[in-house]
Amino acid sequence: MSFWAPDVTDNHQQQRKIITVFAIAFSVTACSLTAGITPQLKTNHLPTQINPIQVPQKNLTSQINSQSQPPTKPTKVENLNFTVPATFQGKTIYHVQPQNSEKVIALSIDDGPWPNTTIQMLDILKQNDVKATFFWVGQAIQANPEIAKRVVAEGHAIGNHTWHHWYRRMDIATAKSEIERTNELIYKTTGVKTSLFRPPGGVLNNGLAAYAKSQNYAVVMWSQTSADTDPRAKSQVFVKNVLRDAKPGSIVLMHDGGGDRTRTVQALPEIITRLKQQGYRFVTVPELLKIEQSTINR
Ligand SMILES: [Zn+2]
């Protein structure tokens, strides 16, 4: 039985200084696990107490097939290699600045694959013809391989979100294991190779991002968050959080796993609908990194 047991007590927040322009985006921190978290509204601090949670082990075909959508047929996925242009390799990315302010936006969905919520989000994304980018936790892939296969079969992009979702500082060997073990399981399970890495909690100074950069991964952060780890907010607040700061080239953070994401599922259709009404086109993170840029962010 596996548990996520992140320990954030010794994290420094230095990295936050360089992203003050996006301070609002961090008003509720990413990737915090639901139970026992004191909401961190309007602060730039990570949660100081996170209870370990159990990665659900249920991975039933019946669950996959019990949703509104028909069972996923094996579809030909054209590109299973999620590479990044050389200019972004080894770099930390918060957003991009498209030429002519083209209204493109990328939804990123962390901490799965997860029973129920991932599948519900896949249904919504399919109904709206939207492709997203899922950052997976190794333990969760191990627990839910069939869900992982469906995500890939439906054309979404995949990134690496470590094996254990630890926040704590770690040595190079541990950082390497956290990332490479996860990439190996992503490949073994789905055939995907990815050069996208997102550090749990957005923590950039605990050894993970340094290792990822040394291996030419792109360290993919975000420019705005749904703040869907806030245990008290209603789903409508997630919608408002995303819409308030949507800009061309934004990377939006939300979660399908790591806790009960029912409210994120509830918010997702309206987030998509309203962004489309504003003229946005949804792209994956790899697609976003390949569009014409007016400048490169960091
Ligand atoms: Zn996370």
What tens digit of pLDDT does each residue of 124-176 get?
999 999 999 999 999 999 999 999 999 999 999 999 999 999 999 999 999 99
Per the model's pLDDT, the better-predicted residue between 258 and 59 turns out to be: 258
- Distance in Å, CA 11 to ligand 1 centroid: 16
Alpha carbons 99 and 249: distance in angstroms, whole number: 10
- Distance in Å, CA 85 to ligand 1 centroid: 24
- Distance in Å, CA 40 to ligand 1 centroid: 16
- The winner for highest mean pLDDT among 21-35, 72-86, 88-102 is 88-102
Question: Which residue from 265, 266, 251, 283 is spatially nearest to 121, judged by alpha carbons?
Answer: 265
Instruction: Kindly report the pTM of this predicted structure.
Output: 0.79
Catalytic residue among 111, 156, 255, 256: 255
pLDDT at residue 19 tops 80: no
Alpha carbons 108 and 105: distance in angstroms, whole number: 10
Specify the amino acid at residue 96: V
Percent of the chain surpassing pLDDT 70: 73
pLDDT at residue 7 tops 80: no
Instruction: Quote the pLDDT of residue 55.
Output: 66
pLDDT at residue 76 tops 70: no
Q: Report the DSSP beta bridge partners of residue 92.
A: 219
Q: Tokens at residue 137, please?
A: 């936790």
| Strands (DSSP E) found in the chain | 3-4, 53-54, 81-82, 92-93, 97-98, 104-112, 133-136, 157-160, 193-194, 196-197, 218-220, 224-225, 250-255, 281-282, 293-295
Cα separations (Å) of 44 from 7, 18, 115?
A: 17, 12, 30
In contact, 128 and 269? CB cutoff 8 Å: yes
If you average pLDDT over residues 71-88, what whole number do you get? Answer: 78
- Distance in Å, CA 161 to ligand 1 centroid: 7
Per the model's pLDDT, the better-predicted residue between 14 and 269 turns out to be: 269
- Distance in Å, CA 114 to ligand 1 centroid: 12
Instruction: Quote the pLDDT of residue 188.
Output: 98
Q: Report the DSSP beta bridge partners of residue 134.
A: 109, 158
Active site residue 110: yes
pLDDT digits (tens, 9 = 90+) for 39-71: 333 333 333 333 344 566 554 444 444 444 444
Alpha carbons 260 and 105: distance in angstroms, whole number: 25
Q: Are strands 133-136 and 104-112 parallel, antiparallel or unpaired?
A: parallel
- Distance in Å, CA 159 to ligand 1 centroid: 11
Question: Which residue from 74, 235, 40 is spatially nearest to 155, judged by alpha carbons?
Answer: 74
Instruction: Quote the pLDDT of residue 164.
Output: 98
Question: Which residue from 212, 152, 210, 216 is spatially nearest to 185, judged by alpha carbons?
Answer: 152
The CATH number corresponding to 12-49+82-295 among 3.20.20.370, 3.30.230.80, 3.40.50.720, 3.40.50.11400 equals 3.20.20.370
Q: Tokens at residue 262, please?
A: 């029912």
Instruction: Quote the pLDDT of residue 202.
Output: 97
3-state secondary structure of 58: coil
- Distance in Å, CA 69 to ligand 1 centroid: 27
Per the model's pLDDT, the better-predicted residue between 27 and 141 turns out to be: 141
- Identify the band that residue 245 occupies on the pLDDT scale cut at 50, 70 and 90: confident
In contact, 217 and 195? CB cutoff 8 Å: yes
Instruction: Quote the pLDDT of residue 293.
Output: 80
3-state secondary structure of 160: strand
Question: Which residue from 189, 179, 102 is spatially nearest to 152, judged by alpha carbons?
Answer: 189
Alpha carbons 145 and 296: distance in angstroms, whole number: 35
| Mean model confidence pLDDT for the chain | 82
- The winner for highest mean pLDDT among 15-29, 72-86, 234-248 is 234-248
Percent of the chain surpassing pLDDT 90: 70
Active site residue 129: no
pLDDT digits (tens, 9 = 90+) for 171-219: 999 999 999 999 999 999 999 999 999 999 999 999 999 999 999 999 9
Specify the amino acid at residue 196: L
Catalytic residue among 110, 228, 230, 256: 110
Per the model's pLDDT, the better-predicted residue between 39 and 250 turns out to be: 250
Give, as residue ranges, everything with CB less than 5 Å from ion ligand 1. Answer: 31, 110-111, 200
- Identify the band that residue 287 occupies on the pLDDT scale cut at 50, 70 and 90: very high
